[in-house]
Amino acid sequence: MAGDGRARHWDGVYTRTDATQVSWFEPDPVCSLELLDIGGANPDVGLIDVGAGASRLVDVLLARGFTDLTALDVSDDGLALSRQRLGADAARVRWVVADLLDWVPDRRFGAWHDRAVFHFLTDPADRARYRELVAAALAPGALMVIATFAGDGPQQCSGLPTARYSAAELAAELGGALEVVADRREQHRTPWGAVQPFTWLAVRRW
């Protein structure tokens, strides 16, 4: 699916569905915060959340005093929900509407957060492009927190096929010079009670 197609797809998801009723919704980003803390992401670090959509992570990070936040998503409709929810605080975030695979970083960040983007990259060429972006966007020693469906997780999400990884498989797929700081297995519960196993990694990029 090309960039324009991905934008239409995810705009459609947010148009059709209450953002608190999509499968990936979580009222509190517990695993994200735990791994960011373990990795030492402090409020002074420049952090980018790719695939941010309507996630509430940015709300919590602002409340924690983060001052250099970027939220990127292919769906402007998803980001608009976050901007509306934050009100005046939305001005404290840099909002980027872009297909991640077409995006060209204009700076380097100290932390990268990705909850459930990478597992949609089922084409090896798209995963290679993702690795190029990480290398271009992260400063030496930067923290990367990433979550995908686990090996026994769903094979599809929102009508799209997904890839699934164990912690070791995900680290190997990310490749490059990295140090695994922590890993977690999460039993994410959807708004309707289904369980989706996730694999989480916090890695340090060198």
Say which CATH number the domain at 64 has: 3.40.50.150
Stretch (H or E) spanning 188:
strand 178-189
- Structural domain range at position 142: 3-205
Tally of domains in the chain: 1
pLDDT values of the chain reduced to their tens digit, one per residue, 206 residues: 555 676 675 666 666 666 666 776 788 999 999 999 999 999 999 999 999 998 999 999 999 999 999 999 999 989 999 999 999 999 999 999 999 999 999 999 999 999 999 999 999 999 999 999 999 999 999 999 999 999 999 999 878 899 999 999 999 999 878 999 999 999 999 888 889 999 999 999 88
The pTM for the full model equals 0.92
Whole-Å CA distances, 52 to 29, 75, 99, 168: 12, 9, 12, 25
